[in-house]
Amino acid sequence: MTYLVNSIGHVQVDVVDVDALTREATAILGLHVTRNNAGQAWLASNGRSAELVLHRADHNAVRSVGFEAVSVQAVEEAANRVPQAGCKVLSEKPSLDCCAAGVVFATPQGHTFEVHSPIPDRIYDRRHFGSGINPLRMDHVNITSPEPAETQRHVEQIMGLKLSEKLADDGLIWMRGANRQHHIMGIVRGAAGLHHYSFELEDFGEYCRLGDLLDQHAKQLAWGPGRHRPGDNLYAYYVDAAGVMVECSAGMALIADDDNYQPNIITQLKRPENVRVMNVWGTPAPQPWLTHHFPYAPAATR
């Protein structure tokens, strides 16, 4: 199946205190605000119009996850596939006015996704050296689903994502898009929600800076730094002011020979014997990371 989606596009989150999370995202992550009005804040790590979008609400929950299509025509094709895959179209217009086209849809598992045309990117204005760690881009998300295999089927049928790796019991599934990054989306077994979103770092020294910045804000790392076996990427995690887990990733593997690649199936599932199977440096995931859950807001037509 041909890829319709290239990469992760954006994450939209309903938050009680937009200002507090905006301050934290700029001070720690180093994002910059591209728009801030009417109870809504757009933030980005580079020259794009938006990567993280915050909406003032009476609860904290993920509103939607957007995937950037390879073209406007790919958005149209994805929209045609939504009902065929057993999902529901919520809107045939993009949720962000910076996009030329978009389709927003809900899955039976309780997720709201969007496939949208490429977000405008000022390619000669990417660097925003502020007080934070200054990541390069948002690079992936991990969602939680009560039926991971069904969610995998939906994103395969609608977006053309391909399987890169998974646990034999479907408890964790990694899916890739046209940019050939090992995964732009992870699917974890659990109630519908968002486990984490991730920004890509350029240099390992930024992990030291991240730890110090978290300490200055009376926060701490939830896990890491370390290196995952699946994806081969460096990682460190913390929980933001709204309760979302944030990963800072670096050096994720690329799948160059896409046509001949065979997905890896991880059969060693039992802890602690599987620790080195999942993490190159042998650091087991702490229980708060394993059980972390940030809920999805109920799907609604917007």
Q: What is the pLDDT of residues 98-115, one digit of tens each?
A: 999 999 999 999 999 999
Kindly state the helix (H) or strand (E) to which residue 227 belongs, with its residue range.
strand 223-227
Pairing of strands 40-44, 32-37: antiparallel
The per-residue b/e assignment along 93-113, b for 16 or more CB within 10 angstroms, e otherwise, is: ebbbebbebbbbbbbebbbbb
Round to whole Å and give the CA distance between 101 and 11. 17
Instruction: List pLDDT tens digits, range 39-59.
Output: 999 999 999 999 999 999 999
d(CA 21, CA 186): 24
d(CA 40, CA 18) in angstroms, rounded, equals 7
SS3 75: helix
Which pLDDT tens digit goes with each residue over 124-172?
876 766 789 989 999 999 999 999 999 999 999 999 999 999 999 999 9
Hey, how many other C-beta atoms are within 10 angstroms of the C-beta on 265?
Answer: 10
- Specify which residues 188 forms β-bridges with: 144, 172
**184 and 140 in contact (C-beta within 8 Å)?**
yes
Q: How confident is the model at residue 301 (pLDDT cuts 50, 70, 90)?
A: very low
Q: What is the pLDDT of residue 126?
A: 67
d(CA 186, CA 199): 14
Identify the three-state secondary structure at position 6: strand
The rounded distance, in Å, linking the Cα atoms of 178 and 158 is 14
Q: What DSSP character marks residue 228?
A: B
Contact by Cβ (8 Å): 163, 263: yes
Looking at residue 271, what is its pLDDT? 84
Residue spans of alpha helices (H) in the chain: 18-24, 72-84, 148-159, 205-216, 275-278, 287-291
pTM for this prediction: 0.95
Domain 5-119+135-295 class in CATH: alpha beta
pLDDT reported for residue 125: 72
- Residues 155, 149: Cα–Cα separation, whole Å: 10
Any residues with CB less than 8 A from the CB of 194 and at least 6 apart, and which? 11, 62, 65, 141, 142, 143, 144, 244, 245, 294, 296
What length does the chain have? 302
